[in-house]
Homo-oligomer: A and B are copies of this chain.
Amino acid sequence: MAMTFVVAQGGGPTAVINQTLAGIAIEARRRYPGSKVLGARFGVRGIVKGDFVDLSELPEDLVMAIAATPSAALGSTRDKPDAAYCERILAGLDAVGADAFINIGGNDTSGTQQILKDAAGDARMTFVHAPKTIDNDLMENDHTPGFLSAAEFVAGAFLSVDLDFRSLPGIYCGIVMGRHAGFLTASSAAWRLDEESGPHLVYVPERAFERARFVEDVRSTMAAHGRCIVAISEGIASPTGRSLVEELVPAEMQERDAHGNLRLSGTDLGQAIERILAEDLPGQRARVDTFGYLPRGNIATVNENDAREAFEAGTFAVGAVEQGGGSVALQWADGKTVTRLVPLSSVAAKTRTMPADFLHPSENRLDQAAYDYFARLLPPRFEPVRPFV
């Protein structure tokens, strides 16, 4: 039975989001010969504008070359549909005779699918959410497509910076993306050479950040190791629960997207950390980098398992249409990743944070459960040796 699929990509792109797109395009033509697969440019905006790319007729080798290219090939959006916008999207889907709309994205995108499904009411068409986020913060998922590649960047960067600061000692802080969940920041420890290696300190949104404690942590790490490597999530919050960036940036310079998310990426937090270190630990060599956009779609650190799982999430999403739609989830069972269909409502607009046992109960560092998680998902890709210093 030939069908018409509309597919879109939402939110921040990843290194493997096009694998999912490719999985959808290839599985749709395989499972339903003669089907149309229309890619909406710039997410739901493309549906409203009738701005589509026909993916049905592309040669398979071109589709696979697109799959291997990071970032959303169709373009993305951060638009959040209200009731009126919803009607326009549904009208746009009707206009092309869509049987199913598969939206690839994170929790905001799954929220969009839930809103559209509710607005569509009856069985007008099927809505599927295919997962994608470097934040690894989708409910029902063990890990999410896009995360492992970003994590591989962060793991390699911290391994490398730790070696750098062994040779020229000092304090290093890397600010890593992550609004509510610390998974990506925690991946900084995935490729530690040994117990003595950095990151020595990890600050994540799941635990309040306190200046005095931070300074004391750094001071004692310097005393113990002669260097101090720190991973900090851009979303860390003060004990009041407000994000540090919100407290640091003047209200008139704060920027929010349609989902109400405050812009966290930027140099504000890094500068604040730099000032704290200069004031409270004067005379110490201290360096702060903002990783920002570097991990999320980096072509140099595409993880093979991530690419494969992202492709499979796409093929699974096509199969999910016959089951009435929902959210595709990567779960862990019997020692491997399994792809399952879960209700949209269990994922939509919710956020998964790190399990409590990922963090040491009293120190600002990871605990064994986190190391175990990364050991099974992100085994070391390199074999550096301990230097003489």
Contacts and interface: CB of A to CB of B under 8 A. Distances in A.
Interface of A: 9, 12-13, 15, 39, 41-42, 53, 62, 65-66, 68-78, 152-153, 156-157, 159-161, 163-164, 166-168, 172, 253, 255, 265-268, 270-271, 274, 278, 285, 287-294, 296-301, 381-385, 387-389
A83 B77 CA distance: 62
Per assembly, the copies of the chain total 2
Contacts of A160: 15, 70-71, 294, 297-300
B300 A301 contact: yes
Given A66-B385, A293-B161, A300 B156 contact: yes
B267 A290 contact: yes
A126 to B, nearest CB: 24
Given A13-B163, A76-B168, A163-B70, A53 B156 contact: no
B267 A274 contact: yes
Contacts of A72: 167-168, 387, 389
9 closest Cβ pairs, A-B complex: A289-B292, A75-B389, A71-B163, A72-B167, A69-B384, A73-B387, A156-B300, A267-B270, A267-B271
A253 B387 CA distance: 32
Contacts of A271: 267-268, 271
A291 to B, nearest CB: 7
Given A299-B384, A300-B300, A382-B299, A389 B73 contact: yes
A137 B166 CA distance: 25
Contacts of A297: 160-161, 163-164
Contacts of A289: 265, 290-294
Contacts of A70: 160, 163-164, 384
Given A74-B389, A289-B292, A289-B294, 11 more contacts: A12-B164, A62-B385, A70-B160, A70-B163, A72-B389, A73-B167, A73-B388, A265-B287, A267-B290, A270-B270, A289-B291
B299 A164 contact: no
Contacts of A290: 267, 270, 288-290
B266 A287 contact: yes
A168 B13 CA distance: 8
A299 B157 CA distance: 7
A153 B163 CA distance: 17
Contact of A294 (B74, B268, B294): B294
Nearest to A298: B160
Contacts of A387: 66, 69, 71-75
A63 to B, nearest CB: 10
A71 B299 contact: no
A292 B298 contact: no
A285 B78 CA distance: 12
Among A172, A278, A297, max chain B CB count under 10 A is at A297
20 contacts: A13-B163, A13-B164, A42-B167, A42-B389, A68-B384, A69-B385, A70-B163, A72-B168, A73-B385, A73-B389, A157-B294, A160-B297, A164-B296, A172-B293, A253-B278, A267-B290, A289-B290, A289-B292, A289-B293, A291-B294
Contact of A167 (B13, B265, B300): B13
Nearest to A52: B388
A387 B152 CA distance: 24
Contacts of A288: 266-267, 290, 292
A166 to B, nearest CB: 7
Contacts of A385: 62, 65-66, 69, 73
A289 B285 CA distance: 21
Contacts of A76: 167-168
B164 A388 contact: no
